[in-house]
């Protein structure tokens, strides 16, 4: 997959946060902790990044990516019992809307960290 080295570092930071905090916190707590962990390993990470959804050259919606790392990997964080198909669809739609090539869907809500790496199939 594209950006394997970067996604490996990001997932390493996710596992650090999961191991140190465990499950049971709100998504916002994991987001803030992950920003600290990503910064500690020397990565540029921005949270709540505003993104526009464009349809026929008109902005039809706004959303906020939980975290974008190095401008190339989008992170969608969850704190739920288990990942669901709609979570995967959400990340794929975000990738499609932004043109970002790689997305990581990360769930801190279960006792064992869950993640999915997803690619934007629209990028050549």
Q: What is the pLDDT of residues 40-87, one digit of tens each?
A: 999 999 999 988 888 899 999 888 999 999 999 999 999 999 999 999
The predicted pLDDT at position 27 comes to 96
The predicted pLDDT at position 77 comes to 98
Fold of 4-119: Lambda Exonuclease; Chain A (3.90.320)
The predicted pLDDT at position 2 comes to 57
Give residues with Cβ within 8 angstroms of 59, minimum separation 6. 52, 53
Residue pair 43/70 in contact (Cβ under 8 Å)? The answer is yes
- When the pLDDT of each residue in the chain is averaged and rounded to a whole number, the result is 92
Which tokens in the block code for residue 50?
């505003």
Residue pair 41/20 in contact (Cβ under 8 Å)? The answer is no
Q: How confident is the model at residue 14 (pLDDT cuts 50, 70, 90)?
A: very high
User: Is the pLDDT assigned to residue 1 strictly greater than 80?
Assistant: no
The helix/strand count (H/E) of the chain reads as 3, 5
Residue pair 72/44 in contact (Cβ under 8 Å)? The answer is no
User: Is the pLDDT assigned to residue 123 strictly greater than 60?
Assistant: no
Place of tokens 């916190």: 25
């Amino acid at each position: 997959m594209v950006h394997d080295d970067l996604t490996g570092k990001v997932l390493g930071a996710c596992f650090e946060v999961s191991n140190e905090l465990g499950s049971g916190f709100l998504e916002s707590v994991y987001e803030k902790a992950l920003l600290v962990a990503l910064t500690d390993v020397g990565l540029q990470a921005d949270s709540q990044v505003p993104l526009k959804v464009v349809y026929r050259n008109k902005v039809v919606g706004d959303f906020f990516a939980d975290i974008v790392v190095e401008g190339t990997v989008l992170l969608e964080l969850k704190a739920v019992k288990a990942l669901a198909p709609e979570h995967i669809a959400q990340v794929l739609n975000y990738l499609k809307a932004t043109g970002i090539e790689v997305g990581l869907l990360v769930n801190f809500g279960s006792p064992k960290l869950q993640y999915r790496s997803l690619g934007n199939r629209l990028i050549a």
